[in-house]
Amino acid sequence: MVMACNNQLKEPEKPKNLISKGKMVDILIDSKLIGFANSKNKKIMKEKGVNINTYVFSQHNIDSLQFALSNSYYAFHIKEYEEIYTKVADSLEKLKVEFKALEAKEWKEKTKREEDSLASLTKKDSLVNILPENKIKKIGDSIKSVSDK
């Protein structure tokens, strides 16, 4: 005999302290950014006494239980959950574009500074800027005459 089972999930109760969708977006963005941090940055955070596992919660004045209950509630209500994650993805993409633009600007400024430094050194080291042109010709001629002998 085959028994039919009821696979319907029970809707979680709406938490009394449900985190708003907007705040969930902010929390998830911050969580992703912490997750993206390289190991060197995470090490620095740990050295400064920052617990990366609880940092985001403390920044948003929530605890892990409140987040878990809110996350569970939104996960059951899939359309709302998709809205939240779409906003998170869009925001992260915008941040990525802004970061790339900032990175390009900084690289351009660094390259300009290096070019300016090289130009400055060239001006300072150049005999052309120190000696008059006829003196340079005389030095060149005397070097040539010595090497010809």
Range of the domain at 85: 21-148
Q: What pLDDT score does 147 carry?
A: 62
Q: Is residue 136 part of a domain?
A: yes
**pLDDT for res 36:** 85
Question: Residue 51 half-sphere exposure, CB side, CA atoms within 13 Å?
Answer: 4
Q: Nearest 5 degrees, angle CA 40-CA 44-CA 49?
A: 145
For residue range 23-54, list pLDDT tens digits in order.
Answer: 999 999 999 998 888 788 888 888 988 888 89
Query: How much is the pLDDT for 111?
Result: 84
Q: How many domains does the chain have?
A: 1
- From the list 85, 104, 102, the residue with the least C-alpha distance to 25 is 85
The answer as to whether 134 is a domain residue is: yes
State the helix-helix crossing angle for 64-76 and 78-125, rounded to 10 degrees: 120
pLDDT at site 124: 63
Domain membership of residue 104 (yes or no) is: yes
Given a cut of 50, the residues of the chain with pLDDT beneath it are 1-4
Do residues 22 and 84 lie in contact, with contact meaning Cβ atoms separated by under 8 Å? no
Judge whether 123 lies within some domain: yes
Predicted TM-score of the model (pTM):
0.65
The answer to whether residue 55 sits within a structural domain is yes
- Provide the pLDDT for residue 131: 56
Tell me if 11 is assigned to some domain: no
- Alpha-carbon span 63 to 13, nearest angstrom: 18
Report yes or no on 38 lying in a domain: yes
Whole-number Å distance between alpha carbons of 112 and 38: 28
Backbone angles phi, psi at 61, to 5 degrees: 55, 45
Does residue 1 fall inside a structural domain?
no
Task: Round to whole Å and give the CA distance between 2 and 26.
Answer: 48
